[in-house]
Each structure stands twice: as C-alpha cells, then as structure tokens.
Amino acid sequence: MTHTIQPNNPEATPAPDATDIPAAPSATAPDAGGASSAVPAALKRRIPKYSDLAPLMQFKKPGFSKEARLKRASTIWELRDMAKRRTPQAPFDYTDGAAEEEITLRRARQAFLDIEFRPGILRNVSAIDLSTEILGKPSRLPVGIAPTGFTRMMQSEGEYAGSQAAEAAGIPYTLSTMGTASIEDVAAAAPNGRNWFQLYLWTDRDRSLELIERAARAGNDTLMVTVDTAVAGARLRDVRNGMTIPPALTVKTVLDASYRPAWWFNFLTHEPLTFASLSRYTGTVADLINSMFDPTLTFEDLDWLRETWKGKLVVKGIQTLEDARRVVDHGADGVVLSNHGGRQLDRAPIPFHLLPEVKQAFTTDNTNAAIMLDTGIMSGADIVAALALGADFTLIGRAYLYGLMAGGRAGVDRALQILEKDMARTMALLGVSKLSELTPDHVRLLNK
C-alpha cells in the first residue's frame, strides 16, 4: 500500500490540538537578541574521559619492509617517485626520458588528461568484469606489458620480474629483442604465461630468422615487429649521462651510487647483462641501437615476415591511418598505435588522438585486426578511456618499469594492482560492468 507524505507548510496555521500544553521549562541560554534558546548537550564543554580518547589513540606501527613501502603507493606516479629515489640517474633517465625536448611524451600524457568522462547512472555495477580477448586468447585484464630494452639494467630482476608478474596477473608479456634475458630463460621463468616476442628486423636476415625460430620453439604465440626505428632517436638524457652498456663506473656514477647502494649491490652481485639477441655488448646505447636497426626496412620485409611466422603478427609503431590500413593489407593481425613512448621522433602524432580515426576506418573496412595502443598511460582511467574510444587492448612500458625499479617483482605486481583497481573504479563510476559496454559516448575529447 502506498503512503503519501504531505510536505509541511510553514505558513499554515496549525490546528488546535489537545496536546498544545505549555512544556516544562528547559535549560536555555540568551541569544544575541535577548531571547532564550536551548544549548544541545553535545555542545556543552566537558573534560574528556579516557574511554572516549582510547578509540582515537591507535598509533600505527611504522612499516619499513618492501611490501609496506610499496603498499603506500596508490598511483603509478608514486611508484615513479620511489623508483627515482632508488635508481641511479642514468638508468632511471633511460626509462623516464624521451627524445629531444620530450614534447611528444608530454603531449601523450596530456592527451589522457584532456578528456571528460560521461558517466551513466542507476546501473548495476556490483560486479566489474575486466577480462577480454586479444589475438584469439583470453586476458584477465585489457593491458599487457610492452617490450622494453635493457630491463635488468633498471633493476636486477628485469624481464624475469615482468614476465612472472604478467603470468600471475593473467596478461601477455612481450620480450624485447633488446631485452636482457634470453627468449628461452623468460619462457622457463614464466612457463604458464602468455609470452610474446618483439622483433627488430636486422639487415642480416639470417640472424632475424634465427630469433623468429627461437621464439616459436619457446612457445611465443605472437610476433610484434617494431617499425618506427629507422635510426635511433635523439635521447638527450642518455647523451648527457654518458649512458653505456653496462653502466660505467665513472666518478659521477660512483657518487650517484653512494645514495643508492642497494641498486649497485644487486647489479654487481648478479649475472652480467646479456641480451635476447646477442651474448655480450660493450658500448654506448646509441651505438647499440643503431647497429640493430635497419633503415632499409620496407613493406616487402613485412610480407617476408608474414610468410615466415605462422603465429599472430602485430606491427608496432603505427602513427598514421594510411600505414595502419596498409600493414593490415600486408597480413598483420593487429597494430599497435605507438610513437615509441616519445623516444624516436619528437612532435610525433599522439596515439590516443589517432585512435578514433583508426577505429572508424577498420570498422568501415570490416577488418578484424586488433587495435592496440601504448604511450602515455599512467593510470587505469587512461586505459578505460582508450578502450572506450576503440582500442581492443593496451600496453604499458614505463608504468611497469617504475614498479620494477621501486621494488622488483613485488613492484611490478603493485603497478598492475594499482591499474586494475583504477580500471574497476572508473568503470563502476561510468556505470558499466564489462568492457563491451564501453562506447565513445563515455568519453569526450577536450582541446584536441
């Protein structure tokens, strides 16, 4: 039965009531106009009792363990602060920096800030499902770990920490050609993980073929070829730091190490850096990169790769709609919209801005090629925004490396936990419970 409650009318004259009898006098206090008003008991001064204070006097025991320290990080930016305190300048800057004036990196991050979410209300979001499918297989989260070079230089656990954290999280891990662990060792470290391999095609095609065959034998189901590296970008932080492989023990680095003894202890007491693609190298980062990149790479080489590799083929480094369409025509199963984290061409196109255009074109072309995106992602909200605008999947590089430098494997786990929590909260506040419910209507681009 429905009950109607009538609102009070302050101007109405109350009807006489048998209970309208003057009340007994109560404690009052004169107000500014001389009238009396009651003082609520809660506002009367009193001496506090110990029983009142005891619940408030709960002093938290300080935690100094790695786990306690990492737990205090609530954002990827806070992990970055921890990483900077614990890592020597040269390897930290190698991770944190970008090309030339670093305009591209700043714009990529700003692009995610220059959006407006458009939430729906009164939806059942009691259970949030972040699972998805990418390149024919499931992923528990819509994010994977991107290929990163020299990873054990950032922190001694390197690729082993990244691959094992990805395995535990149920997401793909991509080993770089310039990674500091072999294809076989990473596969052994994360035998139940979904491992991908990133390839830089060399002028020596026999060496490239050897890597491809090793990746297949180790169980990698996806080959990701990077195509935005005709030459190395001008990474000026590395130039200023005199960055070398392995890091040189100069006067500057020794002084820098005095503030970060744990990093140097780990670095010097573990196996020297080795690479997925070569056993040893001594020299500058720029020289190594230029020795491995092939400026003669063309679409014919992509055709050769498509014929050679029997698994999924993804092309990373797509920065225009025309190239996105063209690599799909040459057999790519997916594209990664990426400007190499701003580390190659400064003032390059921003993947997040390119995303809606590529999504619309692929829909028009009726292609089922996967659209992935990296560069600039620093929160779960960034990932949700990319998915809403048409990305099938995202990849993180710096975001997980900050966690690695902050605390090894546990730091990578923490980075993924932060992103997962961000994504779940953002989706709930948008009024969606699964990724398929995200649409472009949930995001508006500002000041593009």
Residues taking part in catalysis: 340
Peptide bond between residue 246 and the one before it cis (omega within 30 degrees of 0)? yes
* Longest CA span, the chain: 104
How long a stretch of residues is the chain? 448
Residue 217: how many other CB atoms lie within 10 Å? 11
205/241 Cα distance (integer angstroms): 33
Angle at 224 between CA 221 and CA 226, to 5 degrees: 170
E strand segments, 135-183: 137-139, 143-145, 172-175
**Where does residue 23 rank: exposed (0-12), middle (13-18), buried (19+ CB within 10 A)?**
exposed
CB 101 within 8 A of CB 346: yes
E strand segments, 31-151: 36-37, 115-117, 132-134, 137-139, 143-145
Q: Are strands 222-226 and 143-145 parallel, antiparallel or unpaired?
A: unpaired
Residue 172: how many other CB atoms lie within 10 Å? 27
Q: CB-side exposure of 356: number of CA atoms within 13 Å?
A: 11
425/128 Cα distance (integer angstroms): 9
158/143 Cα distance (integer angstroms): 19
The one-letter amino acid code at 422 reads D
